[in-house]
Structure 1
Amino acid sequence: MGYEARDRERWVAEDPAQKRADRDDFARDRARVVHSAALRRLAAKTQVLGPGHDDFVRNRLTHSLEVAQIGRESGAALGCDADLVDTACLAHDLGHPPFGHNGEAALDEIAADIGGFEGNAQTLRILTRLEAKRSHADGRPAGLNLTRASLDAATKYPWPRDEAPGGSRKFGVYASDRAVFDWFRAGAPPRARCIEAQVMDWSDDVAYSVHDVEDAIASSWVDPRVLRSDVDMVPVLDAAARTYAPDLTPDVLAGALERLVASGAIPPAYDGSHRALAALKDMTSRLIGHFVRVAEDATRARYGPGALTRFVADLVVPEHARAECAVLKAVAYHFVMTTDERVAVLSRQREVVHGLFDAYAAQPESRLDGDLRADFRVAGSDAQRRRVLVDQVAALTDVRALALHREWVG
């Protein structure tokens, strides 16, 4: 494949010297992600609200940094390599296009007949192909040239679209990237995630469930008093069951809401004062600490002490914690993402993504970025050329996407 040799043929080193070498490799992988252009672009990509909407709310980069902080400490407590988990957390959202999941849905429509679009599969494409750092001997791009372990830890859904379990719409690799996927997954149980990827996934859930509620309260989208209203929370619990936890019963989700309110972590009101902001930050710390601790305790209860790495263990997230996390996600979903104001914005964003794809397709030689223009020229089929156009639109920040759309489409 033309990749560097170390950590290429094994999952876990046995001798101390090789373990030290692995640690050096994982630290190098983390540094490559930190210094990547793809990570920097996340600063101008939507988390829940668009960049520039508010001075307080997260963007996709700050979210990724917070996921990495949670994952690094949580993984280290379980015996995972901290840099390995940190790398996976920093990389997990690199493939998100402008406008977050809304842009992802629009690109999936555009790419429906060439394998679709999925942010996680795009992340792998960036790490192994699109981000400029190393090249194969024949000149083909090799992306950041990360270790097998780092690529696997960053793969939240280790299967292609047509092999997704349980009818899931999520997948982690396009057909055109299958060779590198098969290479770093060699020897791994089919569709099984390493524990480092599981820690990354849970850290992501914890971060955005808690932080989205914090942002929504601080930005006056949510009055915390509604969490204590049986009437106001009915549609929230419905959204939690429908969107985030369809396997959990209404009673389980209702119990989760009761525990969240009874914990005392959620402030009874919010007026924007310094004292109220401090209480809001305290809520965030307490809830994150709770979610991390219960998963660590449950995992240790099942597997005992010692280092838990790769495929020797699975992260154990108790049902009650999953339910609480789902309820928090649903709070932001109901009170922020599905309001009439946001629905109108989302519709406009999808129009921008479709319009930009058409604009690039109309004049690829003059409009594509230089690296992607070269990819477009060597593409051997119409499907490959369209995938390059999708790569281009996906790479745009929200700000650049809107500016180019105004210039080219109007």
Structure 2
Amino acid sequence: MDTTPRGYEQVDRERFVQEPPKQQHRTPFERDRARIVHSSALRRLGAKTQILGAGTGDFVRTRLTHTLEVAQVGRALGKTLGCDPDVVDAACLAHDLGHPPFGHNGEKALDAAARDIGGFEGNAQTLRIVSRLEPKSVHPETGESVGLNLTRAVLDAACKYPWTEDATPTRPDGSPTRKFGVYEDDLPVFRWLREGAQERAQSFEAQVMDLADDIAYSVHDMEDSVVHNTVSLGVLRDEGRAREIAAHARQWYGRGDEDALVEALRRLQREPTWMDDYDGSHRALAALKDMTSQCIGRFVGDVATATRAEFGDGPLTRHHARLVIPEATAQEILMLKGIAVHFLMAPRERKPAYRQQRERLTELVGALVELGDEALEPHFAAMHREAGDDAARTRVVIDQIASLTDKSAYDWHHRYVVRRRDQAVASSD
């Protein structure tokens, strides 16, 4: 019995390493989603930073809760457009697996520490995790890990930036994105999953995942700004403040027209559920949740309508269609992201603790490179011993540190940096 969902072919459900036949009560894409749900990498996201650090408060989103919200938005949009909901759901669940402790701040630190071996990028790390690091499947001939051994369709859908670092495109304003999806030593699986795809073109499901990510964090990071920082959205009625936020959005994301962004904000403010004032009451929190829910519905509905208008009915899958995002919708999403930048992300970067996070990770990389396999978790220690040169061993160290949660990163720094430093001082006295 063929369990390939409508709109997909046999090639889409192939795996990098062929597996023995299984009972046919689930599609290959349902199996992929289950493999990601049960992965240790997904569990760790519950203690990793989204925007505000894990542990900042009970309300604050972690990287895991953000991931679940992205999956909900993506699954709903994908189902509406006829691509397999499990392919989109799996891609959304996987999309942030490669993020290190301390979120994008930790990503900057590891990228600097790994410059000589190809850098660090969270999306490239995601591919590395699902195709190599996560323990699930091994190659029957070589015995090497092939990670979760996901299908071609799901791997491609999880590939947000389908290019190498040296092929990274620029932003609309000409600035570099510094975003890429694969390290050099993971190119074999990347080339396999991209067979038949146009160079640097996202699959349709990857486009859905990418938009779901944009929608989720634009809306929910704004919500966190209001609740955690008690931001009054009423200040956005001031033209000067609105333009400050538009400028911040353009500065951080390298796109958008200031006048168009301000007008996008005014459109959102005209919606009946928009709220200017938040007093922390149950009623206010419920109203805020309703506003964010309506924003999500508005964006998803507008994109689905525009995409169907261009590509018609029927399943839209893989590299046979593209997501159509109306310019007005893109500007509204970008302006919401600008609110989070203005009130949360930009002020955060000026705090000493933010700099200290990068310093701790940098020092930890140095300590683990020096200590070698004796300081690593068993499976990383085995990879370290099998590595053929110093660059490969350093990459294992980066893999180990990237896997840590925020708390674990602090603990490891204390154990391997602070304690060793104190012992060295004591022995010299």
TM-score normalised per structure 2: 0.89
2:362 aligned counterpart, secondary structure:
helix
Which amino acid in structure 2 is aligned with residue 370 of structure 1? P
1:329 aligned counterpart, secondary structure:
helix
Partner of 2:109: 106
The alignment status of 1:30 with 2:30, answered yes or no, reads no
2:76 aligned counterpart, secondary structure:
helix
Larger CA deviation: 147-156 vs 231-240: 231-240
Residues 1:345 and 1:248: Cα distance change in structure 2 (over 3 Å): same
Structure 2 gaps, min length 5:
1-7, 15-22, 171-175, 419-429
Once residues 22 and 83 of structure 1 are traced to their aligned partners in structure 2, the CA distance between those partners, rounded to angstroms, is 14
Once residues 151 and 157 of structure 2 are traced to their aligned partners in structure 1, the CA distance between those partners, rounded to angstroms, is 10
The alignment status of 1:181 with 2:190, answered yes or no, reads yes
- The 5 A counterparts of 1:144-163 are 144-163=148-167
Partner of 1:11: 12
Contact 1:212 1:332 (8 Å CA) reproduced: yes
2:50 aligned counterpart, secondary structure:
coil
Contact 2:102 2:357 (8 Å CA) reproduced: yes
Partner of 2:251: 242
- The 5 A counterparts of 1:167-178 are 167-178=176-187
Contact 2:365 2:398 (8 Å CA) reproduced: yes
Which amino acid in structure 2 is aligned with residue 286 of structure 1? Q
- The 5 A counterparts of 1:131-142 are 131-137=134-140, 138-142=142-146
Partner of 2:208: 199
Contact 2:92 2:158 (8 Å CA) reproduced: yes
Partner of 2:20: none
Once residues 365 and 176 of structure 1 are traced to their aligned partners in structure 2, the CA distance between those partners, rounded to angstroms, is 21
Partner of 1:119: 122
* Deviation (angstroms), 1:408: 2.6
* Deviation (angstroms), 1:22: 11
Once residues 340 and 24 of structure 1 are traced to their aligned partners in structure 2, the CA distance between those partners, rounded to angstroms, is 44
Match of 1:217 among 209, 226, 233: 226
Partner of 1:54: 57
* Deviation (angstroms), 1:406: 2.2
* Deviation (angstroms), 1:343: 2.9
2:286 aligned counterpart, secondary structure:
helix
Partner of 2:3: none
Partner of 1:16: none
* Deviation (angstroms), 1:45: 0.3
Partner of 1:93: 96
- The 5 A counterparts of 1:230-309 are 230-244=239-253, 246-309=254-317
Once residues 192 and 351 of structure 2 are traced to their aligned partners in structure 1, the CA distance between those partners, rounded to angstroms, is 42
Match of 2:236 among 221, 227, 240: 227
* Deviation (angstroms), 1:365: 2.5
Contact 1:265 1:282 (8 Å CA) reproduced: yes
2:27 aligned counterpart, secondary structure:
helix
Once residues 219 and 409 of structure 1 are traced to their aligned partners in structure 2, the CA distance between those partners, rounded to angstroms, is 33
The alignment status of 1:357 with 2:360, answered yes or no, reads no
Contact 1:337 1:343 (8 Å CA) reproduced: no
Contact 1:221 1:336 (8 Å CA) reproduced: no
* Deviation (angstroms), 1:23: 6.3
* Deviation (angstroms), 1:356: 1.2
Which deviations, in whole Å up to 9, do the C-alpha atoms of 1:88-122 show, x marking residues without a partner?
Answer: 00000000000001100111101111111100000
Match of 2:388 among 380, 385, 389: 380
* Deviation (angstroms), 1:223: 1.8
Once residues 9 and 380 of structure 2 are traced to their aligned partners in structure 1, the CA distance between those partners, rounded to angstroms, is 28
Residues 1:64 and 1:342: Cα distance change in structure 2 (over 3 Å): farther
Structure 1 gaps, min length 5:
1-6, 14-19
Q: RMSD over aligned Cα, in angstroms?
A: 1.9
1:176 aligned counterpart, secondary structure:
helix
Larger CA deviation: 216-225 vs 387-396: 216-225
Which deviations, in whole Å up to 9, do the C-alpha atoms of 1:32-60 show, x marking residues without a partner?
Answer: 00000000000000000011101101100
Larger CA deviation: 86-95 vs 320-329: 320-329
Partner of 2:173: none
Which amino acid in structure 2 is aligned with residue 383 of structure 1? A
Which deviations, in whole Å up to 9, do the C-alpha atoms of 1:323-373 show, x marking residues without a partner?
Answer: 111111111111112226853221011011101111211212321111111
Once residues 404 and 327 of structure 1 are traced to their aligned partners in structure 2, the CA distance between those partners, rounded to angstroms, is 38
Match of 2:133 among 121, 130, 135: 130
Residues 1:279 and 1:342: Cα distance change in structure 2 (over 3 Å): farther
The alignment status of 1:164 with 2:172, answered yes or no, reads no
Match of 2:73 among 70, 73, 91: 70
Once residues 229 and 359 of structure 2 are traced to their aligned partners in structure 1, the CA distance between those partners, rounded to angstroms, is 28
Which deviations, in whole Å up to 9, do the C-alpha atoms of 1:169-204 show, x marking residues without a partner?
Answer: 111000000001001111111111111000000000
